[in-house]
């Protein structure tokens, strides 16, 4: 039921999603929805809290793993983890995207507003900070660091979207061996050649 509700709220928002639709999509009776949650509002609050918990736990794991990585290594590793997590739990990512891009769905109740404050702080603070705080000592001296970061972000984010589109077309059991990952690694090598000092410059 959770994934069905996440999917429907993601596509139609709070006001245009009914408990009847959720029950039908989950293959249960409408009465079961009310049995577990009491109301559509309570179900929505649960989904918002679930999404915050999911991304908080995910961010904690990422923060531990990226210690010591240089900038491109860190940003690219985080992008790969994001792709893997999105493919594993697309409903949570779609729900998060809906909340961020449609603010009217954030203020359904005082509780959802409070939860959204935590979620936006996590998204705008912790996750963005992790992506952009890698070691920049290897950057070329003739290019401003902020400019290099901006170019790298544009390139990796654009390529990540293309890789995701490709991966979604492949069978789940083949994702780990997809040639798309090799193409992503090749892109990272090109970025290092473009933005990092060469050996003779050190």
Residue 125 lies in a domain: yes
Residue 142 lies in a domain: yes
Separation between Cα atoms, residue 156 and residue 149, nearest integer Å: 10
- Over pLDDT 90: what percentage of the chain? 26
Determine which helix (DSSP H) or strand (DSSP E) holds 158, and give its type and residue range: helix 145-167
Residues 113-148 have pLDDT tens digits of 898 888 777 766 666 667 666 678 888 989 898 898
Residue 17 lies in a domain: no
- pLDDT tier at 177 (50, 70, 90 boundaries)? low
Residue 197 lies in a domain: yes
Total tally of structural domains belonging to the chain: 1
Per the CB < 8 A criterion, the answer to whether 127 and 59 are in contact is yes
Say what the pLDDT of residue 46 is: 95
Per the CB < 8 A criterion, the answer to whether 104 and 13 are in contact is yes
Separation between Cα atoms, residue 45 and residue 67, nearest integer Å: 34
Is the pTM above the cut of 0.95? no
Burial of 104 (0-12, 13-18, 19+ CB in 10 A): exposed
Residues 92-107 have pLDDT tens digits of 888 888 887 888 888 8
pLDDT at 153 over 60: yes
Beta-carbon contacts of residue 169 (< 8 Å; ≥ 6 apart): none
Residue 12 lies in a domain: no
- pLDDT tier at 178 (50, 70, 90 boundaries)? low
Residue 18 lies in a domain: no
Closest CA to 186 of 174, 194, 176: 194
Residue 15 lies in a domain: no
């Amino acid at each position: 039921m959770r994934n069905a509700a996440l999917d429907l709220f993601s596509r139609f928002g709070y006001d245009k999603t009914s408990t009847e639709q959720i029950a039908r999509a989950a293959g249960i009776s409408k009465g079961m929805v009310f049995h577990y949650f009491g109301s559509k509002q309570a179900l929505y609050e649960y989904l918002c809290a679930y999404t915050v918990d999911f991304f908080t736990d995910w961010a904690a794991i990422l923060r531990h793993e990226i210690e010591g990585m240089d900038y491109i290594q860190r940003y690219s590793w985080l992008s790969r983890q994001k792709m893997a997590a999105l493919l594993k739990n697309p409903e949570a990512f779609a729900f998060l995207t809906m909340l961020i891009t449609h603010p009217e769905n954030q203020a359904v109740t005082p509780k959802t507003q409070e939860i959204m404050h935590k979620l936006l702080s996590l998204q705008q603070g912790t996750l963005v900070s992790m992506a952009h705080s890698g070691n920049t000592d290897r950057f070329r001296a003739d290019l401003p660091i902020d400019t290099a970061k901006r170019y790298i972000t544009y390139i990796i984010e654009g390529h990540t979207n293309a890789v995701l589109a490709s991966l979604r077309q492949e069978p789940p059991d083949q994702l780990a061996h997809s040639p798309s990952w090799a193409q992503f690694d090749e892109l990272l090598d090109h970025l290092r050649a473009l933005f990092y000092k060469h050996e003779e410059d050190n």
